[in-house]
Structures are given as structure tokens and as C-alpha cells.
Structure 1
Amino acid sequence: MMDADYAMYVWPCAPVLAQYLYYHRHFIKGKTILELGTGTALPSVVAAKCGAHIILSDVAHLINATTSCTLNGITDFQVANITWGQFSPAVLQLPKLDIVMASDCFYSLKDFEDILVTVNFLLQDKSAAVFWCTYQERDSDWSIEHLLNKWHLQCTHIPLSSFQADSPSVASSGLPGNHTIWMLQITTKK
């Protein structure tokens, strides 16, 4: 397990998404939420503590995520080995989803389209209403806009100030360089 303070500074996106979930805790209660690229499962842990049913997913090992859930007293969760851009039995057998979420999934440019292909399928096929994600801007030239159009998705930027009134420093980082965090809500085009 990682030290929580270390995780806050290295992966600031997960705490921002977790804070967004907590801010919307009354909305997510009773919802089925799939976390893509779960990692250490901080957003999923918060969602479960707020009464959501969670599904942890990653491409391979989910030991950190399941351990994190167990250590936080969460026993009601599912796991799914999902590879972005591939439609495996794990993807096809998912239950109806209310929310799909991910923190810092737009990390590597080579994965952007695979992520959005997966999100598009989940939003269309599993009746999920929304994809909530946070990401850290690493290069101002990187954009998902053309991929959103290609896969018939639309994006709304959610200002961090709209849900960080009590602790606005969650998205900040002590690391050198640009560490702007963005919160997005992606849905299918109507």
C-alpha cells in the first residue's frame, strides 16, 4: 500500500474525482459505478462509502484496488479485467451501469482513442448516463476533441471550484511544472 500523502501528490486526479463523488454523494447512492483503470481505487472507495455499488476494472492486476477496498471495510464490490479498446467477455457481461468514471486515464496519447471507444460502448450499450473523469494536463497540444466527435460523444468541463468550496487545494500539487487538473463529464451526443 502507498502512503496516502504520496498518492495525493503523485496522482492528484484521484482525490479530485473522489471529492466530486463525495460532493454528489446523494446522487450516487444506490447507483452502479464502474471505475476504469482503478489503480488504488480511491474514487471507488469513496463511492462505496457513499452507498454506490462499485465495479473495479483494470487491464490486469487489481490487487491494490481490492486490498484498498478490504482495508476500508468494503466487501460489496465486483472486479472486471477490462482492456481499453477491446470488447472482451468482461466488458460484455457488465450489468447496467449508471456512471462510468476514471481518474487520470488520459495519461498516454496512444491510449486516448481506446479509452473513448470503450466509454462510447459503455454509454451506448450499458445505458450509462455519464462518464466522469479527471485528468492532469501534461501537454497543451493534446486534445480529445476530434475523438469525441468521431465517437459521437460530447464533453462538459466542470469547474473545480463548483465542488471544492471546502477544500480548494485538493487539485494543487507541490510538484514542479504544470499540473492543471481538469474534471470532465462526457455523454453521448443526443
Structure 2
Amino acid sequence: MYVWPCAVVLAQYLWFHRRSLPGKAVLEIGAGVSLPGIMAAKCGAEVILSDSSELPHCLEICQQSCEMNDLPQVRVLGLTWGHVSQDLLALPSQDIILASDVFFEPEDFEDILTTVYFLMQKNPEVQLWSTYQVRSADWSLEALLYKWDMKCVHIPLESFDADKEDIAESALPGRHTVEMLVISLAKDSL
């Protein structure tokens, strides 16, 4: 099973912040193999893993990751970005939303931020911790963040030791193109 560099960097960020995670409500969106969510659960967070409800195979992979890591308490939930479902409506307030390389296709950006904004309305203090791999200088979240009244802080990878060659005991091809973001509601919207 291949784990993308973005997932490894986000897991490294979680490990760096492991002392603040016990008891936190954490939702991973677009979880895939769920490395960041699994790391958060192993650090004591109350985790829900989610991937598209339209992709049952992805949800099975999330479930398998929980089983392989002996985490029966972690819930797996089908959430499709941009769709208001009963599962989305029933989600409890979250403290942290994790998103590893979900900003892959520009046509998905608005749906992702719509879902995140809905969750931020439940808890205006929630933060989206996201990593993504820069694929094009033409793709930007800035206009959409402004539209949704969100702000973004770029986190330097070296600030949490994620720029080293030996991160997760492997060389990460293209790791220099991975960005770490913390997105939250803009102060004036709180």
C-alpha cells in the first residue's frame, strides 16, 4: 500500500503536536489509507475517518487501516464533499479537520471548502490541517478562501522537522513541493 508524501508530512505534523491531541475530536476527510487519522487516533484523539460515500472501496480501505492498527473505536463514515447528507448533519462538532492532498483537482476545491465551512459553522474554532502537493502555479485556493471568509497560514515544513531526508524512514520524491496549511475562519467572521 503506497502512502503519498502529503500523508506522511501531515502525520509528521500530528506527531509534532501529539501532546495536544488527547481528547480532541478529529475528522479526516478524503482519508484514503488514513495515515494522518490513524496517527491522530494513536496519539489519543477521538477520530472519525471519512471518504466519499460514492466510493465504497475507499471506505473499506479506511476500515482496513483501523483494523490493521487495532483501532476499533475509530468510526468510518461516507461523506461526499459538497453534499449535505444525514451523516454530515449528524457529525458532532470537531476540533481539527485533517485533509491530506485533497486539493488535487481544482473542480473539487469549492466542494471541499463548502463541506469544511459547514463544519466550521458548528465550531468556529475548528482548524483544517491540510497538506497538498503543488501541481500547478495556476491553481490557487486564495480566492475561494476569501469567498468563504477563511484564512490560511502556511506552515514551514522545517518548523516540525518534515523537510528531512529521513522522514518516516524514506526519501520522499517531490517532497519539496509539499505545502502544509492551517485554514480557519477569518477573525472578522467569528
TM over 0.5: yes
Letter in 1 for 2:173: G
Letter in 2 for 1:83: T
CA contact (8 A) 1:58 1:83 kept: yes
Structure 1 partner of 2:117? 120
1:140 offset after TM fit, Å? 1.1
Report % sequence identity.
49
Letter in 2 for 1:130: Q
Per-residue CA deviation, residues 124-148 of structure 1 (Å, 9 max, x unaligned), is 1244521100000000111000000
2:108 matched to 1:93?
no
Structure 2 partner of 1:12? 5
TM-score relative to the length of structure 1: 0.89
Which of 118, 131, 134 does residue 134 from structure 1 map onto? 131
Structure 2 partner of 1:58? 51
Structure 2 CA distance, aligned partners of 1:86 and 1:63?
20
1:174 offset after TM fit, Å? 2.9
> Cα RMSD (Å) of the superposition?
1.8
Structure 2 CA distance, aligned partners of 1:94 and 1:14?
23
Unaligned runs of 5+ in 1: none
Structure 1 partner of 2:20? 27
TM-score relative to the length of structure 2: 0.89
Unaligned runs of 5+ in 2: none
Letter in 2 for 1:42: L
1:40-51 paired onto structure 2 within 5 Å: 40-51=33-44
Structure 1 partner of 2:30? 37
Per-residue CA deviation, residues 76-100 of structure 1 (Å, 9 max, x unaligned), is 1112211111111111000121111
Structure 1 CA distance, aligned partners of 2:177 and 2:173?
12
**Helix, strand or coil at the partner of 2:19:** helix
Structure 1 CA distance, aligned partners of 2:62 and 2:77?
11
Which of 144, 147, 152 does residue 144 from structure 2 map onto? 147
1:126 and 1:80, CA in 2 relative to 1: closer, same or farther beyond 3 A?
farther
Structure 2 CA distance, aligned partners of 1:128 and 1:33?
13
**Helix, strand or coil at the partner of 1:80:** strand
Structure 2 CA distance, aligned partners of 1:55 and 1:36?
9
**Helix, strand or coil at the partner of 2:39:** helix
1:173 and 1:181, CA in 2 relative to 1: closer, same or farther beyond 3 A?
same
CA contact (8 A) 2:79 2:88 kept: yes
